[in-house]
Structure 1
């Protein structure tokens, strides 16, 4: 997520629970990796259509995101990043 977030940055992420409907393009979220159990990704929502979220990293050349993984479902979105340290 460079330049917004760097490796080692601490973030405050608020759990979504049942309330993922409040997410908008531009929000940064914590998501479950769709193919690697226990791996979490921090990405920016690029778009949402019919409950499928397109997540992208700010560093497009290096990012593992929807361009290679496909869309994410609401159940895969765990939290919204609200601050960083």
Structure 2
């Protein structure tokens, strides 16, 4: 999900809420049900939701495993929390981190 999400980012999730195209969701991988993945919903297809990652070079999404049934969608991600990279030593650096650390996840579809 790079560039939307980076390694170490945390997500605030809501369970049991409706999802639609543009939402970022956590789902069980269709071939490995013990593996959770984060993808963006692109649309509805026969058999479930068509999902894609925001990184066009990674194909571990519906292009590989097809539509994802509703029962494999675990939760919808609402907010991304980015932890600090190092110790913040000044008010300016703490303020800069705080302004970039918490971001709502947009429902806009990204251009492909």
Structure ranking higher on relative contact order (CA contacts 8 Å, 6+ apart): 1
Compare the two structures and name the one with the higher strand fraction.
Answer: 1
Match of residue 28, structure 1, among 24, 33, 37: 24
Q: In the alignment, what sits opposite 1:57?
A: 53
- In structure 2, list runs of 5 or more residues that go unmatched: 82-112
Larger Rg: 2
Q: Number of residues paired by the alignment? A: 81
Runs (4+) of structure 1 moved beyond 4 Å? none
- In structure 1, list runs of 5 or more residues that go unmatched: none
Q: In the alignment, what sits opposite 2:99?
A: none
TM-score (norm 1): 0.87
Q: Distance in 2 between matches of 1:6 and 1:79?
A: 19
Q: In the alignment, what sits opposite 1:3?
A: 3
Q: Distance in 2 between matches of 1:7 and 1:36?
A: 21
Task: Note the aligned Cα RMSD (angstroms).
Answer: 1.4
Moved more, 42-51 or 68-77: 42-51
User: 1:81 and 1:56, CA in 2 relative to 1: closer, same or farther beyond 3 A?
Assistant: same
TM-score (norm 2): 0.67
